[in-house]
Structure 1
């Protein structure tokens, strides 16, 4: 006769609605493991969270929301991570940057319009908090190797009653506020990614006839930004000088700061070239 104690060592029992149910310890552990795996599978994924962030940012602009630059990326753990932060100009060239750096880097851009310089830190924190949420099935656990950033077009515009108006409006940020915001952003980037290469892209030119911006302000704000970057030892990608000779041919319409798809592709190739140079230098 088998001793009672031998039976009791290998069983786990529970009572449900007055019925005693027993399973082996091994079976119980297997069931617990399967329950945990099922719970993970039903969690929100990073891709789903990303798509929700994009939808929230562009809920009233479906055409922008569907832009390929805002898509989640095919992430590879073996590649360096590149962040692109910027306004709609960068949204238009990010897809090309990804294509140019395919197999060389994970290229991620902010899932929103970066807006003016005063928004950099808050938008970055919002993205990181959401994407590193431990409740996700696959939260971010990455570090940035390169941060390519820009702000300027939204700083120098004039707004009146919610619309651009350079005659009656108030400028979003003075040069003094702009440069102060940039210094704070640099400090923040170096806090969250101390080993990352920082690259600042100068603001692209403003064409004649633009309703909310003065042509000369783009050059003025860029000059001030370059001084900040040089003093902080931040690399500069001079997209202003790259774009200026072709401005009339590249803009989508007279007085519009946006560029044709062909022009955005050329800008993206240039951005990828600059980023690639820093990736190669880091690997030497």
Structure 2
């Protein structure tokens, strides 16, 4: 989409001093390794996080052979690929999210996106819970500091595929219980974005404007820097 391509181009030239001035004045002796896992929402804010944190951490995300960002999609895909995404790198911190794809309707035969309310969800709440538990267990084995980002809200009416109103809240409740049991910190992007949707989200869409991704990116940066305990953020 043009808005995402334009966002990536422009974000690479934004001055860190404008939005996160503290990030450019000190550099740790050894940069931390940070992994971002998530769907297209995380793809949208990844370039901003990478650019703003380039003096503090090496921020990575799964990439495809052609050099484009890989969409981690839902928990079903996550269970299948989590070990590959982690790889052999010793990550200091992993910021992850699953949910927005799980709650969409899909054709039961083809598995393709659907606008038919009679078609099933990609992963219902029970499946989501079981899948997310497996993913968390794999992430915990890395020894990395973990942050789970809640699934962002969306309008009651969205373009294909169909996502029923209010499902983010239901999936987030399940996810938060799992994270609490595992002592995993939560980056509540849902609560952050909810009152700002008219300003930062595209109409009838789950995706965000350039400014919306920039705002989400700042929220992600704030939580990451808190966890990595850089002196200027203590």
Q: Same fold (TM over 0.5)?
A: yes
Structure 2 unaligned segments of length 5 or more: list them: 13-27, 64-69
Give the match for residue 215 of structure 2. 266
Query: Is the contact between residue 84 and residue 147 of structure 1 (CA under 8 Å) also seen in structure 2?
Result: yes
Larger Rg: 1
Residue-by-residue CA offset, 1:47-88 (whole Å, 9 max, x unaligned): xxxxxxxxxxxxxx899799849x9xxxx9921100000000
Task: Give, in whole Å, the separation in 2 of the partners of 1:246 and 1:90.
Answer: 18
1:1-284 map, 5 Å: 68=8, 78-111=30-63, 112-127=70-85, 142-160=89-107, 162-191=112-141, 193-194=142-143, 196-210=144-158, 211=160, 212-253=162-203, 255-280=204-229
For the residue of structure 1 that corresponds to 2:106, the secondary structure is: strand
Please provide the CA RMSD for this pair. Answer: 2.8
TM-score, normalised with respect to structure 2: 0.79
TM-score, normalised with respect to structure 1: 0.66
For the residue of structure 1 that corresponds to 2:81, the secondary structure is: helix
CA drift of 1:166 comes to 4.5
Task: Give, in whole Å, the separation in 2 of the partners of 1:236 and 1:281.
Answer: 19
Seen in structure 2, the aligned counterparts of structure 1 residues 182 and 80 have a Cα distance that, compared at 3 Å, is: same
Give the match for residue 66 of structure 2. none
Task: Give, in whole Å, the separation in 2 of the partners of 1:281 and 1:68.
Answer: 27
Which deviates more from structure 2 when the two are superposed, residues 144-153 or residues 101-110?
101-110
Residue-by-residue CA offset, 1:216-246 (whole Å, 9 max, x unaligned): 1110110111011001111000000000001
Work out which structure has the larger RCO, using CA pairs closer than 8 Å and 6 or more positions apart in sequence: 2
For the residue of structure 2 that corresponds to 1:198, the secondary structure is: strand
For the residue of structure 1 that corresponds to 2:56, the secondary structure is: coil
For the residue of structure 1 that corresponds to 2:229, the secondary structure is: helix
Question: Which is strand-richer, 1 or 2?
Answer: 1
